[in-house]
């Protein structure tokens, strides 16, 4: 029926879905045909039971298959699926890309016909520790079934917060479990902090370029965004102080390590000076440190230098465990956490006890540290290859961090990277032009490359034609 390539960048689940979809479209599988059982397809293609289950579930969701209890999976009758399939195909083929700040939120999580996606911000699905997750889920189901049915507690799992306090202590950040609040990922954490700190008309410092989702959030809150230019050492301190003196902002949102999109980190000297300026001019710093576990250098966080005096620390497990878990956290002064808690309750009651307990179980496994080391190693190898290949097609690199997800690059003959991204779209390559990461959405020549998704030869054939 189909050929699966374990070496492909496309996840095995996606390959199965594509193969069966094509067989149905070409009428190799006719309406009413029964598909192989999950166990049989798993054995014949040497893939896990869970991979086949997920693929079949996706095909059911696409209305291509019908699950018949105690009988198996069948191709839907033509009358059942054609009305559903046609709009889906039309949406995938006819939708126009609009490279504004909403693109990565609305479309980068869907293939949209893009076969190569160096512009995405996630690790490849096949890099996840699926075995560790599945083992942890089985343990949780046996040992703590009550976590599947309860609301949990307001601040989040007490055991996970205790584990996080220990983890932070290992990073030289002193935080009691009561100084930690769990959230539905780092984006939820930032949203809570934005709504607590920022009022309409407030001037707010942000990285330039920086995190597009944060910019959208701040714009919705009515803030005035002040871009602090990123440099190879982290941030432009001279420009920063000029903005502070002129606008007197109350907070600076910054991504301190392996920053998205530049890959830069704050040097020790820059970090110390930033804290001095925060103390001198009385503003807070929200440190978004979501890439900390991908950093093999062990660089100290701002929160460790400041001990949560002026720094509010945000992180998550999306990059090292799984984005789908949606488990993040905020660590801050006790009084600030106490004031953030009502906002969390109003916006969504508690966070998911199941995902918090599952995250705890993964962290307790000895293999998790090994998995993180493997991620660091794979990313370092990808950085070396992608940096070399980008230079080989004439691209200039902003910095070579040799760690984390991103490289920030430009072609000397291209002034508007959005135009290049539009050309790439025609060849089914999804690039992330620099405009997406600017607080004022202005055109720039830079492009963000996710090294884990930038190994495909088609990327360099396209760039080589510039």
Per-domain residue ranges for the chain? 12-93, 95-121+369-463, 132-364
Q: Cα torsion for 256, 259, 262, 265, to the nearest 10°? A: 40
> In the prediction, which pLDDT does 395 show?
96
Architecture of domain 95-121+369-463: Alpha-Beta Complex (3.90)
Name the fold adopted by 12-93.
Answer: Arc Repressor Mutant, subunit A (1.10.10)
Residue pair 202/224 in contact by the 8 Å Cβ criterion: yes
Q: Do domains 12-93 and 95-121+369-463 have the same CATH topology?
A: no
Which of 50, 49, 52, 74 minimizes the C-alpha distance to 63? 74
> In the prediction, which pLDDT does 148 show?
62
316 by DSSP, 3-state: which?
strand
> In the prediction, which pLDDT does 90 show?
34
Give the separation between CA 442 and CA 446, rounded to whole angstroms. Answer: 11
> In the prediction, which pLDDT does 88 show?
36
> In the prediction, which pLDDT does 145 show?
65
Name the fold adopted by 132-364.
Answer: 3.40.640
Residue pair 235/278 in contact by the 8 Å Cβ criterion: no
pLDDT digits (tens), the chain, 466 positions = 577 877 776 778 888 988 898 888 888 888 988 999 887 888 888 887 668 887 888 888 788 888 886 678 899 875 444 333 333 333 333 334 444 444 444 444 454 567 899 998 989 988 988 888 888 888 877 876 665 666 778 899 999 999 999 999 999 999 999 999 999 999 999 999 999 999 999 999 999 999 988 998 898 888 999 999 999 999 999 999 999 999 999 999 999 999 999 999 999 999 999 999 999 999 999 999 999 999 999 888 999 999 999 999 999 998 888 887 889 999 999 999 999 999 998 877 788 888 888 899 888 887 888 999 999 999 999 999 999 999 999 999 999 999 999 999 999 999 999 889 889 988 999 999 998 899 987 889 999 999 999 999 999 999 998 8
Give the separation between CA 422 and CA 431, rounded to whole angstroms. Answer: 8
For residue 221, what are the contacts with CB-CB under 8 A and spacing of at least 6? Answer: 194, 195, 198, 199, 200
């Amino acid at each position: 029926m189909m050929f699966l390539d374990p070496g492909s960048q496309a996840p095995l689940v996606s390959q199965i879905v594509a193969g069966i979809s094509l067989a149905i479209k070409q009428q190799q599988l006719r309406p009413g045909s029964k598909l192989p059982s999950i166990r049989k397809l798993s054995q014949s293609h040497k893939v896990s039971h869970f991979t086949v289950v997920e693929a079949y579930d996706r095909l059911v969701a696409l209305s291509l298959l019908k699950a018949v209890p105690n009988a198996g999976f069948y191709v839907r009758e033509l009358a059942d699926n054609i009305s559903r399939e046609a709009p889906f195909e039309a949406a995938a083929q006819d939708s126009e890309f609009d490279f504004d700040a909403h693109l990565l939120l609305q479309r980068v999580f869907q293939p949209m016909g893009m076969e190569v996606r160096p512009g995405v911000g996630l690790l490849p699905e096949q890099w996840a520790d699926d075995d560790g997750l599945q083992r942890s889920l089985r343990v949780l189901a046996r040992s703590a079934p009550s976590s599947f049915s309860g609301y949990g507690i307001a601040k989040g799992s007490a055991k996970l917060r205790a584990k996080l306090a220990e983890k932070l202590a290992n990073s030289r950040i002193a935080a009691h479990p009561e100084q930690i609040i769990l959230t539905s990922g780092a984006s939820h954490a930032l949203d809570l902090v934005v709504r607590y700190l920022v009022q309409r008309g407030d001037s707010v410092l942000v990285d330039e370029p920086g995190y597009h989702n944060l910019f959208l959030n701040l714009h919705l809150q009515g803030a005035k965004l002040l871009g602090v230019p990123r440099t190879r050492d982290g941030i432009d301190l001279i420009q920063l102080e000029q903005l502070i003196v002129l606008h007197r902002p109350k907070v600076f949102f910054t991504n301190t390590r392996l920053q998205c999109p530049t890959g830069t980190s704050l040097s020790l000297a820059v970090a110390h000076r930033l804290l001095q300026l925060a103390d001198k001019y009385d503003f807070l710093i929200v440190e978004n440190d979501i890439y900390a576990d991908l950093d093999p250098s062990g660089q100290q966080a701002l929160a460790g230098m400041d001990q949560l005096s002026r720094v509010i620390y945000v992180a998550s497990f999306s990059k090292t465990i799984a984005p789908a878990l949606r488990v993040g956290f905020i660590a801050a002064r006790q009084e600030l956490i106490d004031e953030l808690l009502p906002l969390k309750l109003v916006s969504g009651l508690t966070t998911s006890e199941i995902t918090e307990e599952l995250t705890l179980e993964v962290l307790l496994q000895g293999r998790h540290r090994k998995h993180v080391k493997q991620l660091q190693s794979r990313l370092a190898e990808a950085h070396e290859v992608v940096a070399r290949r980008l230079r080989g097609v004439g691209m200039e690199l902003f910095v070579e961090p040799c760690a984390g997800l991103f490289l920030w690059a430009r072609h000397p003959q291209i002034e508007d990277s959005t135009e290049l991204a539009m050309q790439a779209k025609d060849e089914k390559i999804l690039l992330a032009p620099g405009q997406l990461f600017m607080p004022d959405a202005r055109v720039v020549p830079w492009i963000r490359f996710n090294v884990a998704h930038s190994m495909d030869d088609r990327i360099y054939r396209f760039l080589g034609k510039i």
